[in-house]
Structure 1
Amino acid sequence: MKIDIHTHIMPDKMPNWVQKFGYGEFIHLEHRNCKACMMKGDKLFREVEDNCFDAALRLKEMNERDVTIQVLSTIPVLFNYWAKPKDGLETSRFFNDHIANTVTKNTKRFIGIGTVPLQDIDLAIQEMERCVTELKMPGLEIGSNINGENLSEQKFFPFYKRAEELGCALFIHPWEMMGENQIQKYWLPWLVGMPVETSRAICSMIFGGVLQAFPKLRVAFAHGGGSFPLTIGRIEHGFNVRPDLVAIDNAINPRDYIGKFWIDSLVHDEKAMKYIIDVMGEDKICLGSDYPFPLGEHHPGKLIQTMGLEKDLQEKLLFKNAEDWLGV
């Protein structure tokens, strides 16, 4: 069995919100000459394959790659945190309804997690409650920062509190990477920026006291925890030698939080996989592929299955840890 916690999906049709709302660079999809084009306003943003929105093709590829269940989440560029709150709520509801409808048609193969307009905490909580209670989603995907603000900001604490109360799992995905405008060449925002951005999110939630204040909050981070596992020694050292700069909101050693959150397995390298198992713990790593995008693991779980790991450990990594994170 395999549960892939890190996959993305989008509707094959969506409103042209730029025309409707009269501002911004909302994404919509246009089908041109047998190509699916993500349009940002009136400009081409990215061409995507049909498996980004075609559930039947997705199921076919899952069968070919022995994936039992996919956890479906939106594409981060569709978070729309920059939009006016009421417009962000409208787009979030649209994507959540689409994911819920996809799951309803394939309940044995798909689990959906939602998106919420975190530019407005009250609206975000409102939509989170709808996702959990009405759409029966076990969690949400949120960005590694919200319009440049770290996840440690006190303004987000009511959101975390309600998520903990609802038993709503959170999947943190990097987006709007720090300094990306300076590193456009060589695809560096994705190769370098994303791992750093994920570590930013983890450190923010640790040092800001989020994980301390909400110990029952189930949080998972994408891309193998980014650069956090490899730099935990540096992070801990900084905490020890400059507590006046690091420990200003939380005086607990950051290493003590290892084992209190999850990461996915998307590291692309056997030595890196062995390392994160050793550092982060065999109970806190879930299979994640980033399907259907090129930078993902093209045969989800193959790395785990070809490392000669014990059967019990393989089962944890392939599906049992995902069940624990999702609470299913």
Structure 2
Amino acid sequence: MSAVPRVPVVPRVPVVDFHGHLAVPAAEALVAGTPGLAAETAAEQRAHSPASLAVNLAQLGRLRAKLTDVSARLADLDAMGVDAQVVGPMPMHHYWTGRDTAERLATTVNEAVAAHCARAPERLYGLGTVPLQHPEPAVTLLERAVDGYGLHGISVSTTVDGRELADRAHDPVWRAAEALGAVVFVHPWGCSLGERLATHYLGNTVGQPVETAVALSHLIFTGVLDRFPRLKLVAAHGGGYLPTYIGRSDHAWRVREDARGCAEPPSAYLRRLWFDSLVYTPRALRHLVAEVGADRVVLGTDHPFDMGVDDPLARLDAAGFAPADRAAIAGGNALDLLLKGRNA
């Protein structure tokens, strides 16, 4: 009698959404009515049509409870079949602020995120913010966020008041994050292409993936990941367009000396980064995993915004991964990122 093949049993791990947002009205109040906020808002408006701006405004009003209330957040997680969520600021970095305001802003945000997550510590993991435009206090605030408030890292945008994330001025922050084992979640806020995308919500649907692809390309090509090989960088929205067309980056690296600012072909660095699963279709998710590895993808919903999804597990299952890979993406990778190597 032939033996029945044994199917490997994969222990259940908690389902973790790595991409949730929190609004902090007290932080917004710190910059309300300032010329800097007016300029930032004007730049944002240039990338959107009046119709899109009206929809955005209505959405923010409709989602206020989901962006601030713990009970509403947990109810949504239960409905999605999600056990835990990584919660970061909406974001609200305001990288144009001067040092004093920037420090108060980051402190207010980080305290709010910590307090929000403390209401359900077994289910919520917090990410804060730091003023990257002021690297010295940013390091201090990062250390305080992790060691003082119990946050698991920071969220950053794709540019810092016109300066790239890859600018060497930010090296002290990456060095501190690496030493702390802190996560750095790269999430675009706004789009530098402006009026070209100010129709039919292209400022978000096209602009945000472009911003992420450009920011990650700078980090790769300039050697930031060579200098900080243990940096836990997680890219929102599946890393934008970069994983889809990384072959062009590799080709440039091979044939052009001026493109060779990193030690290895650019595609090698995709397996040093992590990416959320918010690419919408099973085919796109399978492609992302093929390019970066199943151990480099975490679940992401963009909760509670309309460009997010409320059925992340159904979308994951539709991709048809092996049980071990499915478990890793659903939560195992996220828990490794959040819990392993802290303060190493």
Cα deviation, residue 55, structure 1: 1.2
Cα deviation, residue 169, structure 1: 1.3
The answer to whether the aligner puts 1:10 opposite 2:33 as a matched pair is no
Q: What SS class does the counterpart of residue 295 from structure 2 fall into? A: coil
2:295 aligns with: 283
Q: What SS class does the counterpart of residue 293 from structure 1 fall into? A: coil
Cα deviation, residue 121, structure 1: 0.3
Q: Which amino acid aligns with 2:329?
A: L
Query: Which residue of the other structure, out of 68, 72, 81, is the alignment partner of 1:53?
Result: 68
The answer to whether the aligner puts 1:65 opposite 2:80 as a matched pair is yes
Considering fraction of residues, name the structure with more strand.
1
**TM-score, scaled to structure 1:** 0.89
User: In the aligned structure 2, how far is the partner of 1:22 from the partner of 1:268?
Assistant: 38
Quick one: structure 1 residues 91 and 14, their matched pair in 2 at CA, closer, same or farther if it must change by over 3 Å? closer
Q: Tell me, yes or no, if the aligned pair for 2:282 and 2:318 is still in contact at 8 Å.
A: no
The answer to whether the aligner puts 1:24 opposite 2:39 as a matched pair is no
**1:60-82 deviation per Cα after TM superposition (whole angstroms, max 9, x unaligned):** 11111111001000012x11111
Quick one: structure 1 residues 14 and 141, their matched pair in 2 at CA, closer, same or farther if it must change by over 3 Å? closer
Q: Tell me, yes or no, if the aligned pair for 1:220 and 1:325 is still in contact at 8 Å.
A: no
The answer to whether the aligner puts 1:304 opposite 2:321 as a matched pair is no
Quick one: structure 1 residues 263 and 22, their matched pair in 2 at CA, closer, same or farther if it must change by over 3 Å? closer
What runs of 5+ residues in structure 2 fail to find an aligned partner?
Answer: 1-13, 41-52
Query: Which residue of the other structure, out of 265, 273, 298, is the alignment partner of 1:261?
Result: 273
Q: Tell me, yes or no, if the aligned pair for 1:12 and 1:54 is still in contact at 8 Å.
A: no
Q: Tell me, yes or no, if the aligned pair for 2:188 and 2:212 is still in contact at 8 Å.
A: yes
Query: Which residue of the other structure, out of 139, 145, 153, is the alignment partner of 2:167?
Result: 153
The answer to whether the aligner puts 1:97 opposite 2:146 as a matched pair is no
Q: Tell me, yes or no, if the aligned pair for 2:24 and 2:89 is still in contact at 8 Å.
A: no
User: In the aligned structure 2, how far is the partner of 1:295 from the partner of 1:3?
Assistant: 19
RMSD over aligned Cα atoms: 2.0
The answer to whether the aligner puts 1:219 opposite 2:233 as a matched pair is yes
Q: Tell me, yes or no, if the aligned pair for 1:141 and 1:170 is still in contact at 8 Å.
A: yes
Q: Which amino acid aligns with 2:211?
A: E
User: In the aligned structure 2, how far is the partner of 1:310 from the partner of 1:216?
Assistant: 28
Quick one: structure 1 residues 12 and 53, their matched pair in 2 at CA, closer, same or farther if it must change by over 3 Å? farther
Q: Tell me, yes or no, if the aligned pair for 1:223 and 1:265 is still in contact at 8 Å.
A: yes
Percent identity of equivalent pairs: 30
User: In the aligned structure 2, how far is the partner of 1:23 from the partner of 1:12?
Assistant: 18
Where do 1:182-201 residues align within 5 Å?
182-201=196-215
User: In the aligned structure 2, how far is the partner of 1:87 from the partner of 1:242?
Assistant: 44
Q: Tell me, yes or no, if the aligned pair for 1:7 and 1:70 is still in contact at 8 Å.
A: yes
Q: Which amino acid aligns with 2:159?
A: N
User: In the aligned structure 2, how far is the partner of 1:193 from the partner of 1:261?
Assistant: 21
Q: Which amino acid aligns with 2:67?
A: C
Cα deviation, residue 126, structure 1: 1.2
2:47 aligns with: none
1:30 aligns with: none
Q: What SS class does the counterpart of residue 294 from structure 2 fall into? A: coil
Query: Which residue of the other structure, out of 216, 222, 234, is the alignment partner of 1:202?
Result: 216
The answer to whether the aligner puts 1:176 opposite 2:212 as a matched pair is no
Runs of 4+ that moved beyond 6 A: none
Q: Tell me, yes or no, if the aligned pair for 1:9 and 1:52 is still in contact at 8 Å.
A: yes
**TM-score, scaled to structure 2:** 0.85
The answer to whether the aligner puts 1:314 opposite 2:330 as a matched pair is no
Q: Which amino acid aligns with 2:236?
A: A
Considering fraction of residues, name the structure with more helix.
2
User: In the aligned structure 2, how far is the partner of 1:294 from the partner of 1:213?
Assistant: 37
Quick one: structure 1 residues 291 and 81, their matched pair in 2 at CA, closer, same or farther if it must change by over 3 Å? same
User: In the aligned structure 1, how far is the partner of 2:106 from the partner of 2:58?
Assistant: 20
**1:107-156 deviation per Cα after TM superposition (whole angstroms, max 9, x unaligned):** 01100011011110011111101101100112111111111211111111
Q: What SS class does the counterpart of residue 91 from structure 1 fall into? A: helix
Quick one: structure 1 residues 237 and 301, their matched pair in 2 at CA, closer, same or farther if it must change by over 3 Å? same
Q: Which amino acid aligns with 2:173?
A: F
User: In the aligned structure 2, how far is the partner of 1:308 from the partner of 1:25?
Assistant: 45
User: In the aligned structure 1, how far is the partner of 2:197 from the partner of 2:286?
Assistant: 30
Cα deviation, residue 218, structure 1: 1.0
What runs of 5+ residues in structure 1 fail to find an aligned partner?
Answer: 28-39
Number of corresponding residues: 309
User: In the aligned structure 2, how far is the partner of 1:8 from the partner of 1:272?
Assistant: 24
User: In the aligned structure 2, how far is the partner of 1:120 from the partner of 1:59?
Assistant: 35
Q: What SS class does the counterpart of residue 308 from structure 2 fall into? A: coil
Q: What SS class does the counterpart of residue 201 from structure 2 fall into? A: helix
Cα deviation, residue 13, structure 1: 5.2
Quick one: structure 1 residues 223 and 22, their matched pair in 2 at CA, closer, same or farther if it must change by over 3 Å? closer
User: In the aligned structure 2, how far is the partner of 1:292 from the partner of 1:305?
Assistant: 21
Quick one: structure 1 residues 138 and 148, their matched pair in 2 at CA, closer, same or farther if it must change by over 3 Å? same
- The structure with higher relative contact order (CA 8 Å, sep 6+) is 2
